[in-house]
Chains A and B, each alone.
Chain A
Amino acid sequence: MSAVSTAIDVTARALPPKEGLIRLTGLGVRYGGTGRSRATAAVQDVNLCIHPGQFIALVGPSGCGKTTVLNAIAGFVKPTEGTVTIDGSSVTGPSARAGVVFQQHSLFPWMTALDNVAFGPRELGLPNSRELARRHLSLVGLGDFADAYPSTLSGGMRQRVGLARALATEPPVLLMDEPFGALDALTRELMQELLLGIWEKKPHTVVFITHDVEEAVFLADRVVVMGAQPGRVREIIEVDLPRPRSAETRNDSRLAHLRAEISAIIRDESRRHFNNAGDGI
């Protein structure tokens, strides 16, 4: 195990996956650093080891670089320092090793739901890509909406198609950037339960960004709390809620306790950031 990791392996689940080990070592990303202008560090010295099949949530005040970390794992941005590896090989750009579910509006509007989901399997040359897509649409409960264009679907349905699309290529890693952030509270809870249901049957390594602490605790094995200026890992909280989790888990007192603990850290981090910004005036 890596020296930088503080992970405790999640208690045994059926068929622990062999793939999907993510390792961030001294990860730093700076934006706009060309020429004489000073580059701002979006994240600095992030060390994290995420085990195959583990579900981690990234939380933190805005501007803490959550999305930057996720983009670095996805290969959308290049690290300026340090390395990102998936299963030991370095991430050099976007690849089918990591499926991504975006905030919203990332479905291809010119394709039906089925064609959106079949896109990945088809590009990878998997046999029966349409059949595979159909199966994944059913998995998210949208089997009857195969021929619908995204513009005819509700926000929640679109995110379900987005999830099915990311899952259809069966990537070892699933990256989710506030996927339920734009949904109403009830739909969001249903989506969380749907996601857990799928994941508990076939655990991918999941990195899930959210600003909703309760969502983070409800879903994740570990919650990584990030701090801002520069973005870095502030604390890693183990979530010891039993699995499988369900709607009842939301009433568990441990969940409330963890939520309060994490919220306090975030609040402290935001306040520090706020006061620092005040120094300059």
Chain B
Amino acid sequence: MKKRLGSILWPALGVGGFIAVWAVSARLVDNALMLPSPLVVLGGFRDLLYDGSLLRDLRASLHRVLVGYAIAAGLAVPLALVLAYFETLRRIFLPVITLLRPIPPIAWIPLAILWFGLGDKPAYFITAVASFFPIFINAFSGGVSVETDHLNAARCLGAGRWSMIRRIYLPSSLPQVWTGLRIGLGQSWMAVVTAELIAAPSGLGFLIQMSRLNLETPHVLVGMLVIGVVGAFMTTLLGQAERFVLPWRRTLTHG
């Protein structure tokens, strides 16, 4: 009971303190254009909620993230595991990945616009690029870190090649695949905003960009805070899902 109380009390204290510091700073700055107060931002939030534009933008951003992320996960996980398993393929393709990985998603935007124009498609591309690499890198290191003792044990218990893949390689790389998927989702979410700042006529990034041009700083902050809250929600959700995806880890992480 006491533990439970603490798990609410301390975070509430942190968030409350943050809002208090913000409110005091806004009072000191005393300029709604530079730093609107929490109450003003809350008013902006209400306005955007009532006229439906906030939900529309949120839905547009979420949709882009989920599509781009799904494409990235669908490509990165199989590719990483295949490269981890076949050494020759790894030697061929790994240098390409190493070369492309340091390029930030935002640097892809010009190409994305040239190839796909404006709207959803370049955003799919950018969110996919953003999450592909973290997913790939983690899944790959999961794939190559299979323990020799596990492989040997399985072999002398009569496991064939297919069994080795399905019952040893896959589950043994799953924790790191999962880590990659978690990091990747966060990366996609951050990248969608970047993409929308430049290449989309809707979405939270677009909301921020438009509000900036109209000098509506409270709406800029509404956009930023919604991004933060939704991102934190996704992280928590995936954290909770872990006990179902990796049931054998439950006792390690929660006990």
Q: Are B158 and A106 in contact (CB under 8 A)?
A: no
Q: Which residues on the B side are within 8 Å of A124 (C-beta)?
A: 157-158
Q: Is B160's CB under 8 angstroms from A106's CB?
A: no
Contact with B along A78-112 (1 / 0, CB 8 A): 00000000000000011110111010011011110
User: Would you give the shortest CB distance from A67 to chain B, in whole angstroms?
Assistant: 12
The tally of CB-CB contacts under 8 A between chains A and B is 75
Chain B residues closer than 8 Å to A110, beta-carbon distance: 171-172, 174, 246, 248
Q: Which of B148-156, B199-207, B224-232 contacts A (4 or more CB under 8 A)?
A: B148-156
Closest CB-CB distance, B9 to chain A, in whole Å?
A: 31
Closest to B174 in A: A110
Q: Is the CB of A120 within 8 A of B150?
A: no
Instruction: Check if A152 is an interface residue, CB within 8 A of chain B.
Output: yes
Q: In the complex the two chains form, what is the Cα distance from A165 to B143 in whole Å?
A: 25
Are the CB atoms of B160 and A123 closer together than 8 Å?
Answer: yes
Instruction: Decide if A76 is an interface residue (CB 8 Å cutoff).
Output: yes
Q: Which residue of B lies closest to A106 (CB)?
A: B149
The total of chain B residues at the interface (CB under 8 A) is 25
- Encode contact with B along A147-168: 1 for CB under 8 Å, 0 otherwise: 0011110000000000001000
Contact A119-B167, Cβ < 8 Å, known A106-B149, A149-B248:
yes
Contact assessment for A108 and B168 in the assembled complex, using a CB-CB cutoff below 8 Å? yes
Number of A residues with CB within 8 Å of any CB on chain B: 28
A123 touches B159 (CB 8 A): yes
The A interface, classified by DSSP as helix, strand, loop or mixed, is loop
- Nearest chain B CB to A82 CB, angstrom units: 21
- B155 x A151 contact (CB < 8 A): no
Judged by a CB distance under 8 angstroms, whether B147 is at the interface is yes
Cβ-neighbour of B149 out of A102, A120, A151 (below 8 A): A102
Point out the residues of chain B lying under 8 angstroms from A102, CB to CB: 149, 152-153
Choose from A93, A105, A123 the contact partner of B157 (Cβ within 8 Å): A123
For A105, list chain B residues within 8 Å (CB): 147, 149
Question: Quick one: which of B132-156 are within 8 Å of A by CB?
Answer: 147, 149-150, 152-156
User: Could you list which residues of chain B lie within 8 angstroms of chain A, going by C-beta atoms?
Assistant: 147, 149-150, 152-160, 163, 167-168, 171-172, 174, 246-252
- Residues of chain A at the chain B interface (Cβ within 8 Å): 74-76, 93-96, 98-100, 102, 105-106, 108-111, 119-120, 123-124, 149-152, 165, 169, 171
